[in-house]
Amino acid sequence: MEGTPVDPAEIKRVAVREVSRRGVLRGAGALGVGALGLSRADPVYAATTGYDEAVGVNPERYQPPAGLAKPSPAKDAALAWINDNQRAVVQLNDRIWQFAELSLREWQSSLAVAEFLRQHNFTIDWGTAGFPAAFTATFRHGTGGPVLGFNGEYDALPGLSQRAGAATHDPLIYNYDAYGPTYGPGHGDGHNLLGVASAAAAIATARGVRQQNLNATLKYFGSTGEEQLVGKAYAVRAGAYNGLDAFMDWHPLPVTSVDWSPFSALQSTTFTFLGAAGHGGSPLGNRSGLDGALLLATMSEYLREKNVGPAGRIHYAVINGGGAPNVTPDICSIWYYVREGSPARLRVLHDKLMTCAGAAASASQTRLTYRLNSAVWNLLGNKSAAELVFDNMQTIGPPRFTSDDVALAKSLQRALGRPEIGLPDSIVPLTPPRPTNVGGPSSDAADVSWITPRVGFYAACWPPGVPNHNWAATACTAHNIGHQGMLSAARYMAATAVDLITQPEVLAKIKQEHQQRKAGVEWRSLIPDDAQPPIYQPPPDFLRRTGQGWPPRGITWPVEPIIAHEQLGTTGPELPPVT
């Protein structure tokens, strides 16, 4: 790496504070209960952090094993393909960055990734689990052998538009409105990098398999709507991930690291309050949907002190709060994410929110409707998988950044008021999860992890101190900083995938740990069987190009509208005039 050396301890300290994707389960320490004791009360906890304590993993004495990653001609071929095709990989990434398509509407992005895979001998099946923008790309060679899945995502986030490489907030798309300007969407979580690196790794692995005449099946899962925790949650329920021996996954972060920490379980619910519209200047008798939403928001804030544990999270967005102050809105929706350390705890916390929603409707004299959008489990980690990935990362080395990259990183850190420490030039040491629960992020890949072992890691794609879901991350995800992290991630993933194919004993160990961890826990989708996923109708040209019809099987279309039919409220009897 060129530029000023960076203290790895400072990099790790800032990143762990800022980046949620490495969230872990706590609760036991805060309650004064040992992890094994808590495991008996919550079997899902036993499968995650409690398992490590049960098998004697000591965080203070742990040393990762070496020599797991083996050199091989297949691995050399895979890595050579990535090195020889860097330009094509970067160009695809930057195209998807420019599309910046929101969840469940990634029409151009999914087509671009699918075409890239098709050009390299993958067959494409569209409409995984009924989602038009989802697809499964498959490569088979020989007979038998392991079946490996590769995670692909390509959705952007609202409001995070930013010019690539710009060191101050400068939205690429600014939507003027005299009363409420907004920014366009942007890849502030790096799913453009994620999807393209995984595709490159799958193609590179296929190259190694074909050149060395190995037996394997590779499946790239182009997943829609990850930012809304939708695509994989419904696809796992539909059986799309059945039959895998392992699932390869990664995510952009400010550091290059791997662990086997669990994420949080999450439920996504939209509450809609229906009332009666009227003039803001004569409000008596009006029934405001916005009042209902704001009352729920206020009550959920009051939940935090005495009803939300250390791993719990409640956060929300008001979706349609009215178009003008002088119109009392008769409809308003507020969208909630509720997170906890396990499905059982999630249910308890979400039930509290439901009680508040009913009270908000009663107090605002509105009618409440709600829908569960999605729900996911916490992640099931795998120590053996993490150790294999870490050994490959050590062998290949961290992303290499230039002095110009470091200068941009420091400018972004300065713009956000964070320490100007530049970029990491090392890999964060592998350490076991802490037996404490501080809460954290969620992913629909968590549901996949209960079906098959997840082999996951992280690569530095923006500077430490820059949080996910921030404009400064968007500035990096179509810049050399993000490109180098993406290319390193493709190398780590391809090298590890080749090891799983050429070292069956290593794959067997990972699968054995997976079975041992989830023993006594029956995974069952948190989404009711009759729940219809949130979905959007694609453009006709997309359906034509992908050979899909509309609506997908099992989808009721059009969706039944939610309409306010409430009467105006009474203002009481007429009072006699004052004499």
pLDDT reported for residue 37: 54
Percentage of residues of the chain with pLDDT beyond 90: 85
Taking the C-alpha atoms of residue 257 and residue 429, their distance in angstroms, rounded to an integer, is: 7
Taking the C-alpha atoms of residue 6 and residue 528, their distance in angstroms, rounded to an integer, is: 49
Burial of 275 (0-12, 13-18, 19+ CB in 10 A): buried
Neighbour-count burial for 331-344, b at 16+ CB within 10 Å, e otherwise: bbbbbbbbbbbbbe
Those residues whose C-beta lies under 8 Å from the C-beta of residue 392, and which sit 6 or more positions away, are: 69, 492, 495, 496, 499
Residue 13 reports pLDDT greater than 70: no
Worst-scoring range by mean pLDDT, 10-24, 123-137, 138-152, 432-446? 10-24
Question: Which of residues 263 and 139 earns the better pLDDT score?
Answer: 139
Quickly list H helices, 266-402: 289-307, 343-364, 383-396
Percentage of residues of the chain with pLDDT beyond 70: 93
Beta-sheet pairing, 454-460 with 246-253: parallel
Token output for 216: 């394997």
- Average pLDDT estimate for 519-545: 96
251, 21 contact by CB (below 8 A): yes
> Which H/E stretch holds residue 150?
strand 147-153
Sign of the Cα torsion 24, 29, 30, 33 reads: positive
* Cα distances (Å, whole numbers) of residue 98 to 108, 164, 546: 10, 10, 21
Taking the C-alpha atoms of residue 503 and residue 78, their distance in angstroms, rounded to an integer, is: 16
| Predicted confidence (pLDDT) per residue in 130-139, tens digit | 999 999 999 9
| Predicted confidence (pLDDT) per residue in 22-80, tens digit | 333 333 333 334 444 555 678 887 788 788 988 999 988 999 999 999 999 999 999 99
Beta-sheet pairing, 313-318 with 265-274: unpaired
pLDDT reported for residue 39: 58
Taking the C-alpha atoms of residue 514 and residue 452, their distance in angstroms, rounded to an integer, is: 7
pLDDT reported for residue 40: 64
Beta-sheet pairing, 135-141 with 367-376: unpaired
- Average pLDDT estimate for 358-368: 98
pLDDT reported for residue 520: 87
Taking the C-alpha atoms of residue 396 and residue 415, their distance in angstroms, rounded to an integer, is: 32
367, 253 contact by CB (below 8 A): no
* Cα distances (Å, whole numbers) of residue 346 to 267, 337, 378: 7, 11, 10
SS3 breakdown of the chain: % helix, strand, coil, rounded to 5?
40, 15, 45
Worst-scoring range by mean pLDDT, 22-26, 130-134, 398-402, 461-465? 22-26
| Residue 238 one-letter amino acid | A
Burial of 411 (0-12, 13-18, 19+ CB in 10 A): middle
Domains of the chain in sequence order: 8-21+56-262+379-517 (3.40.630.10), 265-376 (3.30.70.360)
Reported as a pLDDT band with limits 50, 70 and 90, residue 435 is confident
Nearest CA to 289 among 263, 265, 309, 270?
270
Backbone angles phi, psi at 387, to 5 degrees: -65, -40
| Residue 366 one-letter amino acid | T
pLDDT reported for residue 25: 31
508, 502 contact by CB (below 8 A): no
> Which H/E stretch holds residue 375?
strand 367-376
Neighbour-count burial for 278-303, b at 16+ CB within 10 Å, e otherwise: beeeeeeebbbbbbbbbbbbebbeeb
Taking the C-alpha atoms of residue 151 and residue 195, their distance in angstroms, rounded to an integer, is: 7
Mean pLDDT of all residues belonging to the chain: 92
Burial of 527 (0-12, 13-18, 19+ CB in 10 A): buried
- Average pLDDT estimate for 546-574: 94
Worst-scoring range by mean pLDDT, 31-45, 236-250, 415-429? 31-45
- Average pLDDT estimate for 387-404: 98
Taking the C-alpha atoms of residue 205 and residue 78, their distance in angstroms, rounded to an integer, is: 5
223 has which bridge partners?
Answer: 153
123, 138 contact by CB (below 8 A): yes
Residue 6 reports pLDDT greater than 80: no
Sheet holding 265-274, edge to edge: 313-318, 331-340, 265-274, 367-376
- The DSSP result for 227-252, as a single string, is GGT-HHHHHHHTTTTTT-SEEEEEEE
Q: Show the 3-state SS of 13-79.
A: HHHHHHCHHHCECCCHHHHCCCHHHHHHHCHHHHHCHHHHHHCCCCCCCCCCCCCCCCCCHHHHHHH
Taking the C-alpha atoms of residue 471 and residue 466, their distance in angstroms, rounded to an integer, is: 9
pLDDT reported for residue 551: 98
| Residue tagged 């706590």 (tokens) | 26
Those residues whose C-beta lies under 8 Å from the C-beta of residue 209, and which sit 6 or more positions away, are: 74, 139, 141, 216, 218, 498, 501
| Predicted confidence (pLDDT) per residue in 71-128, tens digit | 999 999 999 999 999 999 999 999 999 999 999 999 999 999 999 999 999 999 999 9
Residue 7 reports pLDDT greater than 70: no
346, 265 contact by CB (below 8 A): yes
- Average pLDDT estimate for 320-328: 95
- The DSSP result for 333-361, as a single string, is EEEEEEEESSHHHHHHHHHHHHHHHHHHH
Reported as a pLDDT band with limits 50, 70 and 90, residue 437 is low
* Cα distances (Å, whole numbers) of residue 450 to 16, 231, 346, 453: 25, 16, 17, 7
